[in-house]
């Protein structure tokens, strides 16, 4: 499970990479997704400085649109984790 070096925040595919990514041949898009998720992790770590103690509502499922497709992710603040739940590459 990838972790950000700046905090205990990290991210993972939920339930696993094969389920979320599938057999897409577009590995450059998958790399784009993972790079963007790392940015989201850094942003969440800055926004929620003590995520484990957070008592509010976590944001719901959100989506990001990139040049090669899109993905959905869920931020769970108390777990200090971003879960990538769906990756949809555009057709090649």
Strands (E), the chain: 10-13, 61-66, 69-76, 81-89
SS3 of 41-63: the string is HHHHHHHCCCHHHCCCCCCCEEE
Q: Say what the pLDDT of residue 74 is.
A: 97
13 pLDDT higher than 60:
yes
> Which range, 18-22, 32-36, 44-48, 54-58, is most confident?
32-36
């Amino acid at each position: 499970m990838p972790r950000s070096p700046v905090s205990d925040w990290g991210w993972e595919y939920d339930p696993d990479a094969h389920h979320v990514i599938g057999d897409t041949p577009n590995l450059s898009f998958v790399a784009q997704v993972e790079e963007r998720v790392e940015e989201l992790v850094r942003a969440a770590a800055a926004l929620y400085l003590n995520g484990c103690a957070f008592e509010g509502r976590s944001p719901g499922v959100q989506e990001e649109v990139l040049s090669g497709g899109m993905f959905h992710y869920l931020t769970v603040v108390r777990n200090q984790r971003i879960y990538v739940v769906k990756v949809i590459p555009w057709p090649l």
